[in-house]
Amino acid sequence: MFLIMVTKENALQRSNLLNVLWDIQRKRRFISRDDMKKIAKEFSISMIELEGVISFYHFFHLQNAGKYTIYLNCSTISQHKDYQAVKKTFQDELGVLIGNVTKDNLFGFFKTSCIGLSDQETSALINNYPFTNLTPKKVKTIISKLKKGQSLESLSNYPKDNIKYRPEKDAKTIFFKTYTKGEGLKQLVSLKPEDVIDLISKSKLSGRGGAFFPTGMKWKLCRNNKSDQKYIICNADEGEPGTFKDRVLMNKYPGLLIEGMTIAGYAVGATEGTIYLRAEYLYLKDKIEAAIKDFEEAGLLGKNILGLKGFDFKVTVQLGAGAYICGEETALIASMEGKRGEPTTKEYFPVEKGFLGKPTVVNNVETLCAVPRILEMGLDNYLKIGTKQTPGTKLLSVSGDCKKPGVYEIEWGMKLKDFLNLIEAEDPHVVLFNGFSGECLSEVDFDREISGENLLAEHIQFKFNDPIEYSRKMSGVGLRSGGSFMVFNKKRDLIGILKNITKFFVAESCGICVPCRTGNFLLNKKINKIMFGHAELKDLEEIREWSFIIKQSSRCGLGKTSTNCLLTAMLKFPEEFKKHLTAESNFNHSFNIENAVENYNTIIQEIESTYE
Ligand X SMILES: Cc1cc2nc3c(=O)[nH]c(=O)nc-3n(C[C@H](O)[C@H](O)[C@H](O)COP(=O)(O)O)c2cc1C
Which C-beta is closer to ligand X: that of 35 or that of 329?
329
Q: Which of 315, 336, 351, 558 binds ligand X (CB under 6 A)?
A: 558
Binding region for ligand X (CB under 6 A) out of 157-165, 201-209, 484-492, 581-589: 201-209
Q: Which of 35, 93, 119, 238 binds ligand X (CB under 6 A)?
A: 238
Sheet order of strands, 129-131 included: 100-101, 107-112, 68-73, 124-126, 129-131
Which C-beta is closer to ligand X: that of 56 or that of 470?
56
What would the x/- binding string for ligand SF4 be over residues 558 to 597, using CB under 6 A? xx--------------------------------------
If one asks whether residue 555 binds ligand SF4 (CB under 6 A), the answer comes out as yes
Binding region for ligand SF4 (CB under 6 A) out of 89-97, 310-318, 427-435, 506-514: 506-514
If one asks whether residue 551 binds ligand SF4 (CB under 6 A), the answer comes out as no
Binding region for ligand X (CB under 6 A) out of 157-165, 234-242, 438-446, 538-546: 234-242
If one asks whether residue 145 binds ligand SF4 (CB under 6 A), the answer comes out as no
Report what 401 binds from ligand SF4, ligand X, none; CB cut-off 5-8 Å by kind: none
**Angle, alpha carbons 10-346-504 (nearest 5°):** 80
Rounded to a whole number of angstroms, the distance between the first and last alpha carbons of the chain is: 77
**CA atoms in the 13 A half-sphere facing the CB of 507:** 17
Binding region for ligand X (CB under 6 A) out of 19-27, 112-120, 230-238, 397-405: 230-238
If one asks whether residue 509 binds ligand SF4 (CB under 6 A), the answer comes out as yes
Report what 582 binds from ligand SF4, ligand X, none; CB cut-off 5-8 Å by kind: none
Residues β-bridged to residue 226: none
Element (H, E) at 528: helix 514-531
For CA atoms 412, 416, 417, 421, the dihedral sign is positive
Binding region for ligand SF4 (CB under 6 A) out of 78-86, 292-300, 470-478, 508-516: 508-516
Tell me which amino acid residue 94 is: L
For CA atoms 549, 555, 560, 566, the dihedral sign is negative
Q: Which of 367, 393, 451, 524 binds ligand X (CB under 6 A)?
A: 367
Phi, psi of 579 (to 5 degrees): -65, -15
Tell me which amino acid residue 486 is: M
If one asks whether residue 329 binds ligand X (CB under 6 A), the answer comes out as yes
Report what 517 binds from ligand SF4, ligand X, none; CB cut-off 5-8 Å by kind: ligand SF4
Site residues for ligand X, 424-463, by CB under 6 A, read none
Which C-beta is closer to ligand SF4: that of 261 or that of 326?
326
**Angle, alpha carbons 532-533-538 (nearest 5°):** 120
3-state secondary structure of 39: helix
Residues β-bridged to residue 410: 394
Q: Which of 512, 527, 567, 569 binds ligand SF4 (CB under 6 A)?
A: 512
If one asks whether residue 513 binds ligand SF4 (CB under 6 A), the answer comes out as yes
393 and 387 Cβ atoms separated by less than 8 Å = no
Q: Which of 25, 364, 451, 484 binds ligand X (CB under 6 A)?
A: 364
* Pairwise CA distance, residues 279 & 258, whole Å: 19
Report what 555 binds from ligand X, ligand SF4, none; CB cut-off 5-8 Å by kind: ligand SF4
Which C-beta is closer to ligand SF4: that of 339 or that of 580?
339
If one asks whether residue 35 binds ligand X (CB under 6 A), the answer comes out as no
Binding region for ligand SF4 (CB under 6 A) out of 34-42, 236-244, 374-382, 505-513: 505-513
If one asks whether residue 211 binds ligand X (CB under 6 A), the answer comes out as yes
60 and 36 Cβ atoms separated by less than 8 Å = no
* Pairwise CA distance, residues 103 & 108, whole Å: 10
Report what 516 binds from ligand SF4, ligand X, none; CB cut-off 5-8 Å by kind: ligand SF4
Strand ranges, E, within 241-282: 272-277
If one asks whether residue 260 binds ligand X (CB under 6 A), the answer comes out as no
* Pairwise CA distance, residues 598 & 340, whole Å: 52
Which C-beta is closer to ligand X: that of 156 or that of 397?
397
Strand ranges, E, within 294-374: 314-319, 360-364
* Pairwise CA distance, residues 341 & 237, whole Å: 12
Q: Which of 130, 182, 184, 239 binds ligand X (CB under 6 A)?
A: 239
Other C-beta atoms closer than 10 Å to the C-beta of 365 total 29
